[in-house]
Amino acid sequence: MTTPATQQPRLRTWSIAGAGRRRLTEYEIVTGKFHYHFGRQPAPFDLDPGSAINQWYLRYREGSPLRADDWEGFKDPAQLSYRRYIALQHDREIYAEGVVDHFEAADHDARLDPAWVAVLGRLYLPARFAFHVLQIASLYVGQLGPSAAITNASFFQGADELRALQWIAYRARSLSLAHGADLADSATARAIWEDDPAWQPARQALETLLLAYDWGEAFTALDLVVKPALDAFFKEAFADLALANGDGLTAQLLRESGVDTARNQAWATALARYAIAARPENFTILTEWVDKWRPAAEGAAGGLAEIFAEAPVPVSPESAVATVTASLGNLKEEIRS
């Protein structure tokens, strides 16, 4: 062995993730080729190839029917690095705080119709259980994602769900101050989530979603069916109902959360389109999963929509379900296009 004599030529970009002559964006610099372990032989991780987590990834990630020659080509349309995500959400939380501040200054909660507060107690406050499932399911899709672009977008989405959940928790306490301690009682909210017939189809869909371990199916069930259905239900149909019942605060917080939904749907549909372009058979695979999960998601919306009839200014449950169905239909069109 001898001392090397040559100096390494200057590098303008990552040697393994360059983009030819084009300069990499910050997003590309901190995202491309981070998942060195996807497809590695003999196993993704440097333990015994037969050890439990290696086998889990080989079965549910590398072994998923949803395949592409190269997942690295997929990019989050929002091109979010951590830094950009945090800067974006910092601004959005300042906006949300402003919304809450505005309504609190007008003593908004105290003026709400008790009959409407009852609807909030039955439908809105227990929704934190539903958002928690969406949160942890996103973190599952993220940890099984075959590329960092998919993983990071999923992690940010999981954090968005925690954001939505925490504003519901905030509102639970806030409403309890004007309308009774029961609204901030965990046992009450849990009992509704566990036993109220209106919640059971949603609870069943969400509990079952946690067992979708194949990453392709988990992504499809969560991001193309169950989450879009619940987001359309809460952030569109229920936000409209809140507005009709004089609850501008609930409506505005949900619509603010809808901004996160729009961003998350954009990456999810982009990923579905990428998968289909990369391998046409993926269209059938995705469609079969969508068809499998859709009845449960629509059933969830149908069950919850029954509560719409109890609002002081009611909306027919059918129209709420129609909002969800239309939203899922639009999503399917977007994936196909």
Partner 1 sequence: MPRLSRSDWYDLSRDTNWTFRYVTEDAVFPEELSGSHRVGKQQWLAWDEPYKVSYREYVHNQVTKDTTTYSLKNAISRSKVFDELDPGWKSVILAHYGAITMPEYLASIGEARMARFGRAAAWRNTATFGALDEVRHGQIQAFFPYGLLEKEPRGDWALKAFHTNNWIAIAVRQLFDDMFVANDAVSIALQLTFTLETGFTNLQFLGMAADAIDVGDLEFGALISSIQTDEARHAQQGEPTIKVLIDNGHKAWGQFLIDHMFWRSWRAFALLTGLSMDYYTPLESRKMSFREFIEDWVIKQFAEQFRDYGLDFPWYWDEFVRELTWYHHAIHTVVWNWRPTVWWNPDAGVSPAEREWLEEKYPGWNRTFGRHWDVITENVRTGNIAATFPETLPLACNICQLPIVRAAGVLAGAHTDPAPLRHVHEGRLYLFCSEPCKWIFTQRPDRFKGHKSIVDRFLTGEISPPDVGGILAYMGLSEPEQGQDATGYAWANGG
Of residues 54-73, those binding partner 1 (CB under 8 A): 54, 56
Number of residues forming the site for partner 1 (CB under 8 A): 90
Told to check if 21 binds partner 1 by CB under 8 A, we report no
Told to check if 41 binds partner 1 by CB under 8 A, we report no
Least separation in angstroms between CB 86 and partner 1: 5
Piece in contact with partner 1 (CB under 8 A), picked from 27-35, 286-294, 303-311, 324-332: 27-35
- Give the separation between CA 323 and CA 241, rounded to whole angstroms: 12
Told to check if 93 binds partner 1 by CB under 8 A, we report yes
Cis geometry, peptide bond prior to residue 44 (ω within 30 degrees of 0):
no
Residue 309 to residues 165, 251, 255, 297, Cα–Cα distance (Å): 24, 18, 21, 20
Told to check if 116 binds partner 1 by CB under 8 A, we report no
> Closest Cα to residue 27, out of 71, 78, 90, 86?
78
Place of tokens 């609850």: 247
Told to check if 197 binds partner 1 by CB under 8 A, we report no
- Give the separation between CA 168 and CA 182, rounded to whole angstroms: 15
Residues 6 or more apart in contact with residue 221 via CB below 8 angstroms = 209, 212, 289, 292, 293
Piece in contact with partner 1 (CB under 8 A), picked from 7-15, 233-241, 281-289, 308-316: 7-15
CA angle 270, 276, 279 (to 5 degrees): 140
Residues 6 or more apart in contact with residue 149 via CB below 8 angstroms = 31, 32, 71, 72, 74, 75, 76
Cβ-based nearer residue to partner 1, 184 or 311: 184
Residues 222 and 141 sit within 8 Å (Cβ to Cβ): yes
Least separation in angstroms between CB 261 and partner 1: 16
Told to check if 2 binds partner 1 by CB under 8 A, we report yes
**Alpha-carbon 11 to chain mean position:** 38
Name which position in 14, 277, 288, 329 contacts partner 1 (CB under 8 A). 14
Name which position in 75, 163, 227, 294 contacts partner 1 (CB under 8 A). 163
Residues 204-233 that bind partner 1 (CB under 8 A): 204, 207-208, 210-211
Residue 330 to residues 68, 126, 298, 333, Cα–Cα distance (Å): 25, 28, 14, 5
Least separation in angstroms between CB 217 and partner 1: 15
- Give the separation between CA 276 and CA 71, rounded to whole angstroms: 12
Least separation in angstroms between CB 245 and partner 1: 22
Told to check if 87 binds partner 1 by CB under 8 A, we report yes
Told to check if 16 binds partner 1 by CB under 8 A, we report yes
Residues 121-160 that bind partner 1 (CB under 8 A): 128-129, 132, 135-137, 139-140, 142-143, 148, 151-152, 155-156, 158-159
Piece in contact with partner 1 (CB under 8 A), picked from 61-69, 184-192, 230-238, 275-283: 184-192
Told to check if 9 binds partner 1 by CB under 8 A, we report yes
Cβ-based nearer residue to partner 1, 215 or 308: 215
DSSP line for 120-171? IIIIITTHHHHHHHHHHHHHHHHHH-SSHHHHHHHHHHHHHHHHHHHHHHHH
